Amino acid sequence: MTITAAADGSALGNPGPAGWAWYVDDDTWAAGGWPHGTNNMGELTAVLELFRATAHIDDDLHILCDSQYVINSVTKWMPGWKKKGWRKGDGKPVMNLDLLKELDQAVAGRRYRFEWVKGHVGHVLNEAADARARGAAEAYQRGSAAPAGPGFPGAAGRGSLAVAAVEPPTLFTFDSSTRDIAEPEMSSAVNIPVTVMFTAVEHARLERRAADAGMSVEKLLRTLL
């Protein structure tokens, strides 16, 4: 059996509020985003999340994508980049390295093929993915929430989540006062402010883990201390 899905990304201002989405049908899709990212980040993440969402099944993937950058990255360029230590032919570092490394792992052992489709010409699946990716980006722009979609049937940790606007994820400060420090003469909790810096990709990963655990990012970080 072959699953046909469209994957698309969006960035308002490029860079700016960004979103990603993959779409099979109205009952099978997912979307998300960041307060600040690029269109290429959205496009790569859409494909990555599609592979993750279908990792529990053995079906072939037919991926409709309007980004030649994404298609070429996965099907042509990554092997050469890896041999060169993830550097391009001119020796410069590859852009979006974290996403590309995750994609490299996600596609290993999978059966898939890409089909390039021209964007914004009325292709039903592409337009559906594009609308959801842009909707996620607009949610971050206006400070509201957008549906993250039902996900793929049987996939672990996916549900009808909400994409909410938050402050840029480069800096995250929280109070670790919920943790008690057991010292001989210290019975009360100690308030220790902690500041952590994340990339947009790392923050998105934390958001997914927190959503899967049914808690906020701040609470998840506290459990890791």
Active site residues: 8-9, 43, 66, 120, 130
Closest residue by Cα to residue 126 from 214, 1, 3, 7: 7
What are the residues whose beta carbons fall under 8 Å from the beta carbon of 146, sequence distance 6 or more?
Answer: 31, 135, 136, 138, 139, 162, 163
Closest residue by Cα to residue 194 from 151, 225, 223, 156: 225
Written as one string, the DSSP assignment of 107-137 is HTT--EEEEE--TTS--HHHHHHHHHHHHHH
**In the beta sheet, which residues pair with residue 4?**
62
**Alpha carbon distance 217, 172 (integer Å):** 10
Number of residues in the chain: 225
**Alpha carbon distance 110, 55 (integer Å):** 8
Residue 147's Cβ-count burial label (10 Å; 0-12, 13-18, 19+) is: middle
